[in-house]
Structure 1
Amino acid sequence: MKLCPDRRMSIRMIAETVNADKETVRKNLHDKLNMKKVCAKFVPKTFTPDQKLVRQQICSDFLERLDEDSELMENIITCDETWIFQHDVETKRQSMHWKTPASPRMKKAKMSKSKFKAMLIVFFDINGIVMTEWSPEVLTTLRERVRKKRPELWKNKSWILHQNNAPGHNALSVKRYLAARGTPVLEHAPYSPDLPPCDFFLFPKIKSASKGTGSSQWKR
């Protein structure tokens, strides 16, 4: 039995196409061909050929710079931002519990829209957190914080700012501000959340701890 190119066809559609009953088609698929129907694997982004080329070039350039300057990683200050919400309802993971076949399953109401939210921006380097800020207008504050917390990098003008490709980071006003003050920026590969990894090690812990917390705690 040979399948048609459309792998999304149902057993019923295949049976109608090959003029066979559904049980025969099912046995052929599962028992003889050892096939099962699964959902498409989710990936953050499917790259275009141009995006793949840019990603390769950026990574190659960075590796070359790293070979020339072994201390390059110590000069990079990267950042990421996230929205912090106030939710009184537990997350799905927080509501997990052990149960026996006889015990009833707990109920959890649908999460309502948060009454309060604030944008948290975190700047950090290889040595730790440089600055946290709740306002998107942070570049002036960041420069002052680098001067105080990383005096050697400030004195040598060797610190490099690394941002992702969010629209706010690529705004013309931001680029002009950084260029006017001689702040070098490390180029970010397209759709690469693994490079500023706050989404993996920092933000989930902050959001988990803030669930159900009164909004007044997060306001200035």
Structure 2
Amino acid sequence: MSKRFARWVPRMFAPDQKLTRLETSTLLAHFQADPASFFWRSVTQDETWGQHFEPQSKNQSKHWKNHGSPPPPKINQVAPVGKVMALMFWGTEGILVIDYLQRSQAINGAYCASALRQFKEVIKEIWTGKLRAGMLLLQDNAPVHMSQEAVPEAASCGFELLPHAP
């Protein structure tokens, strides 16, 4: 007999979670059907927090000095004014849309649905071919993305929601 160490695994999945991961692997079938089109049609949506800064302009940092004296030091560290929530859509072309939430606004299903409508209008102006080809939208499993308002809105906008593993 010998002593064996247990192997570390990041997470033990339940049977239904394993089944969901298996269903998510259908993305490979999408990719194999047309690899170039898959990446071109794919768009990812996510939210992130960012620091809001109000830096000094060049004119604001001017000081009167004598000709022989050294210039005043300019310290780049500016205290953040606050945090800002940004909702972003990006694809192979880079960032397509950034929407900053107002300070008192909460991200919920209704807001997510309106953001999808806004995104569709922007895509209509810039890339009409993407809408005709059928856009593939990848979101995480956040409750606001899977809400009763957001999922039907994504379908009505013509986006095919890609499954996301838990």
TM-score interval, normalised by the smaller of the two chains: 0.5 to 0.7
Asked if 1:150 is matched to 2:127, the reply is yes
TM-score, structure 1 normalization: 0.49
d(CA) in 2 for partners of 1:170 and 1:74?
Answer: 24
Asked if 1:187 is matched to 2:163, the reply is yes
2:44 aligns with 78
Q: Equivalent residue of 1:189, what SS?
A: coil
| CA shift digits 1:126-167 (9 cap, x unpaired) | 12111111134312211112112322212x242121111011
What's the % identity of the aligned pairs? 26
The total of aligned residue pairs comes to 127
Contact residue 86 and residue 99 of structure 2 kept, 8 A: yes
Indicate the RMSD between aligned Cα atoms, in angstroms.
3.0
1:117 aligns with 83
Larger Rg: 1
Which amino acid in the other structure matches residue 118 of structure 2?
T
Structure with larger RCO (C-alpha < 8 A, sep 6+): 2
Q: 5 Å matches for 1:60-71? A: 61-70=26-35, 71=37
| CA shift digits 1:190-210 (9 cap, x unpaired) | 1xxxxxxxxxxxxxxxxxxxx
* Residues 176 and 158 of structure 1: CA distance in aligned 2, closer, same or farther (over 3 Å): closer
The CA deviation at 1:46 is 3.9
d(CA) in 1 for partners of 2:40 and 2:52?
Answer: 35
Contact residue 130 and residue 149 of structure 1 kept, 8 A: no
Q: 1:164 aligns with which of 140, 144, 149?
A: 140
The CA deviation at 1:86 is 5.8
d(CA) in 2 for partners of 1:184 and 1:62?
Answer: 12
* Residues 139 and 54 of structure 1: CA distance in aligned 2, closer, same or farther (over 3 Å): same
1:94 aligns with none
Q: Equivalent residue of 1:166, what SS?
A: coil
Q: 5 Å matches for 1:1-220? A: 43=10, 45-59=11-25, 61-70=26-35, 71-85=37-51, 116-135=82-101, 136=107, 137=111, 138-154=115-131, 156-190=132-166
More strand by share: 2
Q: Equivalent residue of 2:143, what SS?
A: coil
More helix by share: 1
Which amino acid in the other structure matches residue 158 of structure 1?
G
Q: Which runs of 5+ in 1 are unaligned?
A: 4-32, 88-113, 191-220
* Residues 48 and 69 of structure 1: CA distance in aligned 2, closer, same or farther (over 3 Å): same
The CA deviation at 1:83 is 2.0
TM-score, structure 2 normalization: 0.63
1:193 aligns with none
1:210 aligns with none
Contact residue 137 and residue 162 of structure 2 kept, 8 A: yes
